Amino acid sequence: MTQIIKRILIVDDHAVVRGGLRQFLASTDDLEIAAEAATGFDALALIPGGDWDLVLLDMSLPDINGLELLKRIKRMRANLPVLIFSMFSEAEFAIPALDAGASGYLNKDSPPYQILSAIRTVVDGGRYVSPSLGEQLLSGVASSSQKAPHETLSRREMEVLLLLSKGVTLTRIGDSLHVSVKTVSTYRTRILEKLGVKSNAELTRYVLQHKLG
């Protein structure tokens, strides 16, 4: 009996990640990276015509915010499963991603067996969250009573923080989020105040220290 191979579209701006996953899945009999996209717009161009069984989507892309891209993909093909594969904090972004239509959320630090389990669960029509997040959700402690400074940020402020930490200019952030540069500047000011820092360099240091992106 011929093995049915599930075709995966990976959307990630890091060539080493795409190449690593392609090589990793080449050792399986049922999964393959059938196409790659390095930007959100490249992904949107591939979505309509491809015979995909799964989209493996990074949250941090140079042109379109990951959550926004997820929503656009689901509008184009509502039944196409999307598994988020990201370095962003699971505690911060998993629930918003699942609410926006993702079938699962997987951290890039996950061990190989967990990556395979997540992909196979989602391509078979299931939903996936990591064991740690699952336990938190079941026990009702997904949000702590003592919040870290970044946990006081709104979802949009968190998006701006992560883009600023990558050196993206205010103009490009505004274009990506479809808001004015003045609005982005206002977000930046609020973020600096909430995190208790004074510069973009300190913002970047904060993001690295807390492993947010």
Please report the pLDDT score of residue 38 as a whole number: 95
Is pLDDT of 98 > 70? yes
Q: Pick one of 3.40.220.10, 1.10.10.10, 3.90.226.30, 1.20.140.10 as the CATH number of 149-209.
A: 1.10.10.10
Q: What is the mean pLDDT of residues 102-117?
A: 91
pLDDT, tens only, 6-33: 999 999 999 999 999 999 999 999 999 9
> Has residue 144 got a pLDDT over 70?
no
- Provide the pLDDT for residue 155: 86
This prediction has a pTM of 0.65
Binned at pLDDT 50, 70 and 90, residue 2 comes out as low
**Gyration radius of the chain's alpha carbons:** 18
Higher pLDDT, residue 149 or 8 = 8
**Confidence band for 137, pLDDT divided at 50, 70 and 90:** low
Judged against a pLDDT cut of 70, whether residue 150 lies above it is answered with yes
CA 204 to chain centre: 18
What whole-number distance in Å separates Cα of residue 18 and Cα of residue 33? 9
Any idea which of 13-22, 96-105, 140-149 has the lowest mean pLDDT?
A: 140-149
Mean predicted confidence (pLDDT) in 116-143: 78
pLDDT at residue 147 greater than cutoff 80: no
154-171 pLDDT, tens digit per residue, is 889 999 999 999 999 999
Say how far residue 7 (Cα) sits from the centre of its chain: 20
In whole angstroms, how far apart are CA 87 and each of 25, 55, 92, 109?
A: 19, 17, 11, 7
Q: What CA dihedral angle connects 52, 90, 157 and 139, to 10 degrees?
A: 120
State pLDDT tens for residues 48-96: 988 999 999 998 898 988 889 999 999 999 999 999 999 887 777 888 8
- Supply the mean pLDDT for the chain: 88
The CATH homologous superfamily to which domain 6-139 belongs is Response regulator (3.40.50.2300)
| Helix and strand totals (H; E) in the chain | 10, 5
What residue segments make up the domains of the chain, in order of their start? 6-139, 149-209
CB 136 within 8 A of CB 94: no
